[in-house]
Structure 1
Amino acid sequence: MSRSALAPLAVVAPILAACVVLVAGRRAPRLVIDVLATATAAGVAATTGFLAASTLGGRAVTWSGGWSPVGGRSVGVVLVADPLGAGLACLAGLLTAVAMLYSWRYLASLQAHYHTLVLLFLAGLVGFALTGDLFNMFVFFELMGAAAYALTALRIEEPDSVQGGLTFAVINSLGAYLSLMGVGLIYARTGELGLARIGRALGGQRADALVIVAFVLVVTGFLVKAAVAPMHFWLADAHAVAPAPICVLMSGVMVELGVYAVARVYTTAFAGVLPGGVLRTALLVPGLLTVTVGSGMCLIQRHIKRLLAYSTIAHTGLFVVAFAVLTPGSVAGAALYVLGHAGIKGALFLVTGLLLDRFGSVDERDLFGRGSRRDPGGWFFLAGGVALAGAPPLGPGIGKAVAEDAAGRAGYPWLVAAFVVGSAVTGGAVLRAGLRVFLGLGHPPQPPASETQGSGEQPETPSLVRAVPRTMLAAIVLLLLAGALPGVVPPLWVAAGRAARMFLDRTGYAGQTLDAAPPTPVAPLPGLGWTTTGVVLGLVSVTLAVAVALLGVYRPRRAGWRGPVRSPAPVELLHRLHSGHVGDYVAWLFLGVAVVGALIAVPLLAGR
């Protein structure tokens, strides 16, 4: 089978399997459905993994229906696989396969509907990562979104589940429709929908108001999907009620695909008309705000799933900051960071799911000391907190180190502080929760009245489990290993450097897509990997994370006080901003659109 056939196969296979599962689920045993869904996801991962490796020497371009370009002009729909896009599709397949493995002893009453939605979710993720057409990005955006909304609100008998799914659906759908408006504007200007064709049509032109507005609207939906502040409010509400395996997919790859989409649309379609310096500012400001808000909210949570969700928001901000530097080194660092983060954060969500299934709670205070020191899940949780802090030689640490080095070389050494502090605070919050729950250190937290509790929740298994099923434990171990590997496998560093250079090569993208030009050889990035500075900064982050955790565990408390305490004013303000009201979140979304638009439009229009 040729490379050009692999990309459509990876998109179509989970859709066909979803249809088969839905029909067979009426008669087939649950085990058959589990095996079929898991095997399909594993097959997608193998297909896209091979595609990612084979495209290191050049992109694989597939024109649907054989409608290939003539004279550089096209009317067909194109899939363009390069190492970064195919790598993200492979990551989606791997995470889905592990999530399905975890689900073998999970949500038994749902039968095949759960598996069908997960496979459709996977198809949307893969298609979104591989498409070279702006309108089809919207189509796959909606496919993954519709499946994710349903999966988030899976337990429709619970009001919180319905509310979380509704908030997720309203905010993300609104972002998607704003993106569709931007697609319409850019189509009206260029008459094109293919990313490469749009790039050629806009190349060399001046950025007028229509192009600026179109770009801002297009990327708005992607920034919402990436949970970039102030468009991030939906994510914690969704993660708090979504099943643990679905949290793995949302935090591990769906959010990251939002950042990827902004990068892909800019580099292929708008880089010739919007200067890189303007985009850098427009991404650094919300990126740093996202790191700040995500880290702060993560630190003050007692609801463990919300804690992990805000950690994802903070790390997404770091991914945005890394891309905003706009160098091959920073993009390679972001790619490695995403790989490491996906495995580690997925394992943490699955351990939290086990806590819910064993004790009916994900509340740090309610679970204080209830975990056992002999419980492997506890040590996995603590190891995940250390890894999130950027500990060498683990996966998140190498991504953090490469991104920090790239920022310093590009003339932004002050950005290193964001990586160190953001990773330290989020890692410290995870460690604090682990030390309290599994080791019983310190004392239960004194809950401010404004904190969201996580006690009294329904388990996601038919009944409370006493012993951890082997399939669930295997899924956690696989994710931890996957999260650690990027830091200790040098060939991945070389591949990430080549993938980043190819990703930023808009001329090569257009040439291979539209002109069937031969691929340009891509040299590896020199010096990509662990450095002395990177190791030292990683150890500093871990040290700070341990300090944050111990301070949280052993901070002084008022003698004899057992009731709720009053939150400090900044903490209270953060809680009030995260009100849970959809109307408030819509208002923040439009504020975010206005801020991003101003950051792009003001310097461009003022410079004329």
Structure 2
Amino acid sequence: MKPEVLAPLPVVLPLLMAAFLAAAGKHLPRWLADALALLTSGAAALLCGVLLFASRENPLVYWFGGWFPRGNLAIGISFVIDPIGAGLGAMTGVLSVAGLVFSARYFDTLGAMFHVLLLIFLAALCGFGLTGDFFNLFVFFELMSASAVALCGYKSEEPCPVQGALNFGITNTLGAFLVLTGIALLYGKTGALNMAQMARGLGTARDGLVLVAFAFVTCGFLVKAAAVPFHFWLADAHAVAPTPVCILFSGVMVEAGLYAVARVYGAVFVVPLGSHDARLRLLLVGMGALTAVVGGLMCFVQRHLKRLLAFSTISHMGVMLCGFGLLSGRGLAGAAVYALGHGAVKGSLFLCAGVLLHRYRTVDELALRGRGRRLRVLGCMFILGGLGLAGLPPFGTYLGESAIDEAAKAAGYAWLAMLFLAVSVLTGGAVLRATGRIFAGWGPAREEVPGIGGETTEPPETPKSRTIPASMLGAAVGLLLAGLAVGLFPALRHGAEAAAGRMLNAEGQAARVLDGVPLPPAGVEPSEPLGKSALHGLLSSVGATLLAEVTLFRERLLPKAVREGLKQSLGVALRGLRELHSGHVGDYVTWLTLGVAGFGGLCALLLR
């Protein structure tokens, strides 16, 4: 049996099980609904893993209904399976399993509709990563968004989740309209929706229509990726979504937005825009750097743990956007490996925050001060998670960043290594600061800088309990170990570089999809020894630890005059940044509009 015949199953199985649970779930005992959803998620992850393994040498192509292309004309709908897209589906399945295991004892009452929405989300992400048709990419994008909005507002009896879901839904719907408009423009020009046929129809044409379509599609997907200035919805959604849902949002959903940008660029736009690589690289890397810095600063000034972790996701998305923005196979591969390690570690930290909410009814860092002294295992997990975000070897974040650093150096962007060091120190230091305050009682019990700290209200999601179920802690431990294991296999980076090189080969992809011609073996340049990258990871981990220590013990370590000076200067700067994140959807739409106009204008200026 050819492995490509398995391609529809990661989408079909979750959808069928979702339909069954929607119809019969209220008549089933909860343990059975949990077991069925868990088995389906595990099966989808396993199938995507098989497809990933089978597509190592060449993308797999599956034509639904046997409607194969005739010449350059794609008659039917195809799935084009590559390791990165299949890896996205596998990661979604793994995080879904972890979320379901965690939620089995987390929610007191959990209707089958939670399982239905989660399985629909899983099916949409798998289809999103496997499809070779541009319009179906949009369809899966919308199916993912619809289920994600419903999951975000799952606690609909409370006003905050409804507001967060509304902000999420409106901004992401506008992003979807941008994508759909870009698809319509390309369809009008090429008469095709299959990405391979669309690439052949465009050829080397780079007129105004192509630039507008590129700007619309890229901005639309970057809304989902939460790149600045399209990022405002993310922290609001994470703050109100159920904890098991947050691991999907941060672990795969925002990464899916960046994956879509890379997939569409490599399949459709790389030839028309290839002669302006240097200018496009400047635009994308600049946007990624801004995202990394803004996310890191906002992360460090939060005291609401879920918002803190959400802003760290924005910062790390900036690192991944820089990796793709370098427009090289090595940079894209580094972003993919980084996403894998980040998704596992961040998922574990969100589950750890959920354990604190379950045990102490709050995720406010100040309210939790010293209350976690007896939870030594959980404290150790927070420490390891913070160091993982800082890039400590052998976490997957370190392995991915090593590839991005090498690609940046080759492209003349060596300064990115220092930027990554700074944002790793900020995001890792924020987690370690919260760890010291919660689990050791260190640091002042109040904030000295007015206007900093963020929203602290977080209604409990579970009945009050003095015990922590093993399933909740086990799911968090499993994800943390997975993030640690990623960096233990340097061959993973080599395979990702080969897959990324094929993804950026538009002509080879078109020949593979439309003509059935295998791609030539992907050449991967020798990488530098990992010793330097390991030293970089150790340095960022030490820096994060020192930053947390200085923040917690500032009254002892810093003279009063220095503290007052920092209080005044940081208070003004960070309060202004904080006020931009107003929580009002009208403000977010305004920033989204300005961002699209600015990105489009820069495309016209740099790429014409």
The TM-score range, normalised by the shorter chain, is over 0.9
Spell out the pairing of 1:409-558 with structure 2 (5 A cutoff): 409-446=410-447, 448-451=449-452, 455=456, 457-461=458-462, 463-527=463-527, 531-556=530-555
Partner Cα distance (1:407, 1:129) in 2 = 26
Q: CA deviation at 1:444?
A: 2.0
Partner Cα distance (1:355, 1:397) in 2 = 28
2:582 to 569, 579, 584: 579
Spell out the pairing of 1:174-253 with structure 2 (5 A cutoff): 174-205=174-205, 207-253=206-252
Q: CA deviation at 1:375?
A: 3.1
Aligned residues: 598
Q: CA deviation at 1:88?
A: 1.1
1:480 aligned counterpart, secondary structure:
helix
Partner Cα distance (1:455, 1:220) in 2 = 31
1:34 aligned counterpart, secondary structure:
helix
Q: Quote the residue 1:266 is aligned against.
A: 265
CA 1:162 to 1:451, structure 2 compared with 1: closer, same or farther past 3 Å?
farther
Is 2:403 the partner of 1:405?
no
Q: CA deviation at 1:274?
A: 1.1
After superposition, what is the alpha-carbon deviation per residue over 1:203-232, rounded to whole angstroms, capped at 9, x for unaligned? 122x21111111111122100000000010
Contact 1:298 1:307 in 2 (8 A): yes
Contact 2:452 2:575 in 1 (8 A): no
After superposition, what is the alpha-carbon deviation per residue over 1:56-77, rounded to whole angstroms, capped at 9, x for unaligned? 1111111122211011211211
Partner Cα distance (1:325, 1:151) in 2 = 34
After superposition, what is the alpha-carbon deviation per residue over 1:547-606, rounded to whole angstroms, capped at 9, x for unaligned? 2111211123979x9xxx87611111011100111010001001111121122110233x
Partner Cα distance (1:378, 1:192) in 2 = 54
Spell out the pairing of 1:34-113 with structure 2 (5 A cutoff): 34-113=34-113
Spell out the pairing of 1:250-329 with structure 2 (5 A cutoff): 250-275=249-274, 276-329=277-330
CA 1:341 to 1:236, structure 2 compared with 1: closer, same or farther past 3 Å?
same
Partner Cα distance (2:17, 2:126) in 1 = 14
1:62 aligned counterpart, secondary structure:
strand
Partner Cα distance (1:388, 1:444) in 2 = 25
Contact 1:290 1:316 in 2 (8 A): yes
Partner Cα distance (1:452, 1:139) in 2 = 38
1:367 aligned counterpart, secondary structure:
coil
Contact 1:360 1:456 in 2 (8 A): no
Contact 1:56 1:499 in 2 (8 A): yes
Partner Cα distance (1:334, 1:365) in 2 = 34
After superposition, what is the alpha-carbon deviation per residue over 1:381-423, rounded to whole angstroms, capped at 9, x for unaligned? 1110011101112211111122112211222211111211111
Q: CA deviation at 1:285?
A: 1.7
Q: CA deviation at 1:452?
A: 5.2
Spell out the pairing of 1:117-156 with structure 2 (5 A cutoff): 117-156=117-156
Is 2:597 the partner of 1:597?
no
Partner Cα distance (2:318, 2:299) in 1 = 13
Aligned identity (percent) is: 47
2:414 aligned counterpart, secondary structure:
coil
Q: CA deviation at 1:443?
A: 2.1
The letter of the residue matching 1:54 is A
Partner Cα distance (2:374, 2:602) in 1 = 50
Contact 1:358 1:459 in 2 (8 A): no
Contact 2:452 2:571 in 1 (8 A): no
Spell out the pairing of 1:314-393 with structure 2 (5 A cutoff): 314-393=315-394
Q: CA deviation at 1:190?
A: 1.0
Partner Cα distance (1:451, 1:464) in 2 = 29
Contact 1:149 1:165 in 2 (8 A): yes
2:303 aligned counterpart, secondary structure:
coil
Partner Cα distance (1:183, 1:522) in 2 = 30
Identify the range of structure 1 (236-245 vs 505-514) with the bigger mean alpha-carbon deviation: 505-514
Considering only aligned residues, what root-mean-square deviation do their CA atoms show, in Å? Answer: 1.7
Q: Quote the residue 1:160 is aligned against.
A: 160
After superposition, what is the alpha-carbon deviation per residue over 1:504-526, rounded to whole angstroms, capped at 9, x for unaligned? 22222111111111232234542
Q: CA deviation at 1:92?
A: 0.8
Partner Cα distance (1:453, 1:296) in 2 = 12
Gaps in structure 1 of 5+ consecutive residues? none
CA 1:357 to 1:524, structure 2 compared with 1: closer, same or farther past 3 Å?
same
1:79 aligned counterpart, secondary structure:
strand
The letter of the residue matching 1:519 is L
Q: CA deviation at 1:110?
A: 3.0
Q: CA deviation at 1:235?
A: 0.2
Q: CA deviation at 1:493?
A: 2.5
Q: CA deviation at 1:137?
A: 1.1
CA 1:33 to 1:302, structure 2 compared with 1: closer, same or farther past 3 Å?
same
2:7 aligned counterpart, secondary structure:
helix
Partner Cα distance (2:596, 2:15) in 1 = 34
Q: Quote the residue 1:588 is aligned against.
A: 591
Partner Cα distance (1:335, 1:497) in 2 = 9
Contact 1:295 1:425 in 2 (8 A): yes
Identify the range of structure 1 (468-477 vs 279-288) with the bigger mean alpha-carbon deviation: 279-288
Partner Cα distance (2:375, 2:253) in 1 = 34
TM-score normalised by the chain length of structure 1:
0.95
Partner Cα distance (1:449, 1:527) in 2 = 47
Identify the range of structure 1 (514-523 vs 357-366) with the bigger mean alpha-carbon deviation: 514-523
Contact 2:280 2:607 in 1 (8 A): no
2:443 aligned counterpart, secondary structure:
coil
Contact 1:498 1:525 in 2 (8 A): no
Contact 1:61 1:81 in 2 (8 A): yes
CA 1:456 to 1:241, structure 2 compared with 1: closer, same or farther past 3 Å?
closer
Q: CA deviation at 1:278?
A: 3.0
2:80 aligned counterpart, secondary structure:
strand
Partner Cα distance (1:279, 1:511) in 2 = 26
Contact 2:303 2:456 in 1 (8 A): no
The letter of the residue matching 1:571 is L
1:25 aligned counterpart, secondary structure:
helix
Contact 1:304 1:364 in 2 (8 A): yes
After superposition, what is the alpha-carbon deviation per residue over 1:294-343, rounded to whole angstroms, capped at 9, x for unaligned? 01100111111000000000000000001111222211211111111011
Q: CA deviation at 1:27?
A: 1.4
After superposition, what is the alpha-carbon deviation per residue over 1:247-303, rounded to whole angstroms, capped at 9, x for unaligned? 100100100011111111111101111132232122112111101110110011111
Partner Cα distance (1:108, 1:71) in 2 = 58
